[in-house]
Amino acid sequence: MPTRSLGSRAALVLASLPVATLALPLAAQRATVPDIGPYLIADGAAEVALARSAAPKAISDSATVLVLRRTGFVEGARGSNGFTCAVFRSFGGPLNDPDFWDPHVRAPHCFNSAAASTVLPAMLKQTELVLAGQSRAAIGARIEHGYATHEFPSPAPGAMAYMLSPEQTLTSSGSHWMPHLMFYYDKSLPASMWGAGDNSAPVIDGSASDPHAPVLTLFVPVRRWSNGALALGK
């Protein structure tokens, strides 16, 4: 999977844009939104199942699940264990991604309670703003402002997410890439503190493509998908 797509599908990577963009007239902030229909999953139960495939059943069967509607994510199933699962679409990734409007991308995530409360809110806000027709420049500025004002907090200790779905589609070429865990940190320490590197490293720096991203995301590939199938060889 290309490094560009890693950041786009596995974690929110934000553009570094001036807060002054917030002052643009509404008309200047609006952007053309393609027909959202191809991005939606008509069968709500199927979307819940796809979201839950991000993590092992022992975790995801009791997780809250969010499903995408025309104005953003809504609760599709109530959970009890603090985890939250959702299938992110292409426009949930980097604002400068050439595949930003790719209706084939399906990226199931399952966040633990720490990530659900501190990482997920900014991701949900980006999707909401995209579907409201905001330009990418305005969205980047809005998210940046949210972090600056602590509307969006830094990742809580232990914040992490699963991306183990064998049904995930993370690139325009249809790549599933590999099952992996994601760990979220603030930017107080560099990725090199963990020895993180490119796609060939044991720990991958998922934020490398954007040095201004407010959240450091580290990927740790694992051997098996959530259904137990082997992914990385014997």
Interval 90-138: pLDDT, tens:
999 888 888 899 999 999 999 999 999 999 999 999 999 999 999 999 9
Indicate whether 29 belongs to any domain: no
- DSSP code at position 165: -
Q: Full-prediction pTM beyond 0.75?
A: yes
Indicate whether 146 belongs to any domain: yes
Task: Tell me how far apart the alpha carbons of residues 226 and 208 are, in angstroms, rounded to a whole number.
Answer: 26
Total structural domains within the chain: 1
| pLDDT for the residue 30 | 53
Q: How deeply is 10 buried, as exposed, middle or buried, from its count of CB atoms within 10 A (0-12, 13-18, 19+)?
A: buried
Q: Which residues pair with 162 in a beta bridge?
A: 110, 181
Q: Where would I find the beta strands (DSSP E) of the chain? A: 64-69, 72-77, 84-88, 107-111, 160-163, 180-185, 204-205, 216-221
Indicate whether 229 belongs to any domain: no
Indicate whether 214 belongs to any domain: yes
Question: What torsion do the CA atoms of 192, 196, 197, 199 make, to the nearest 10 degrees?
Answer: -170
Q: Where would I find the beta strands (DSSP E) of 89-168? A: 107-111, 160-163
Tokens of 166: 């064998």
- Please report, in tens digits, the pLDDT of each residue of the chain (234 residues total): 333 444 444 443 333 333 333 344 444 445 677 799 999 999 999 999 999 999 999 999 999 999 999 999 999 999 999 999 999 999 998 888 888 999 999 999 999 999 999 999 999 999 999 999 999 999 999 999 999 999 999 999 999 999 999 999 998 787 899 999 999 999 988 999 999 999 999 999 998 887 778 899 999 999 999 999 999 654
Indicate whether 39 belongs to any domain: yes
Indicate whether 227 belongs to any domain: no
Indicate whether 56 belongs to any domain: yes
Indicate whether 226 belongs to any domain: no
Could you tell me the residue range of the domain that residue 184 belongs to?
3-24+34-221
